[in-house]
Amino acid sequence: RKEVEQDPGPFNVPEGATVAFNCTYSNSASQSFFWYRQDCRKEPKLLMSVYSSGNEDGRFTAQLNRASQYISLLIRDSKLSDSATYLCVVNPFSTSGTYKYIFGTGTRLKVLA
């Protein structure tokens, strides 16, 4: 089983739609969680950190369920510019103090006009 699992998609949605991405992780001791956005042939860029209380940034809402080891990202009122790959990222606990990221394979989103 992969440490971080995502549905690879692609998700094709019309402009204005609401779309939700899910992600599960296997290491229950994981400490930090993030969503990154990656455009084609570009580097990942931080979209949101995910906190236990959930957090919202404009049209984007991220939630964490530690009991189910599940992270979600909701995008409301999709824009054409939201088309990208969304990477779920987990930062597992490490006794060596390494804060490495474990990435999912990413979910591709295409917003259609």
Give the footprint of other proteins on this chain (CB under 8 A).
4, 8, 31-32, 34, 41-46, 49, 51-52, 87, 91, 94, 96-106
* Residue of 73, 74, 66 lying closest to 26 (CA atoms): 66
Q: Tell me the residue type at 58.
A: G
In the bound complex, what is the minimum distance in angstroms from residue 102's beta carbon to other proteins? Answer: 7
Nearer Cβ to other proteins (61/104): 104
Nearer Cβ to other proteins (8/16): 8
Nearer Cβ to other proteins (37/111): 37
In the bound complex, what is the minimum distance in angstroms from residue 17's beta carbon to other proteins? Answer: 25
Residues 72 and 62 sit within 8 Å (Cβ to Cβ):
yes
Residue 26 tokens, joined:
């296997």
Long-range pairs of 92-101 with CB within 8 A, sequence gap ≥ 24 = 92/3, 92/27, 92/29, 92/30, 92/31, 93/27, 93/29, 93/30, 93/31, 99/32, 101/34
Nearer Cβ to other proteins (12/31): 31
In the bound complex, what is the minimum distance in angstroms from residue 16's beta carbon to other proteins? Answer: 28
In the bound complex, what is the minimum distance in angstroms from residue 85's beta carbon to other proteins? Answer: 9
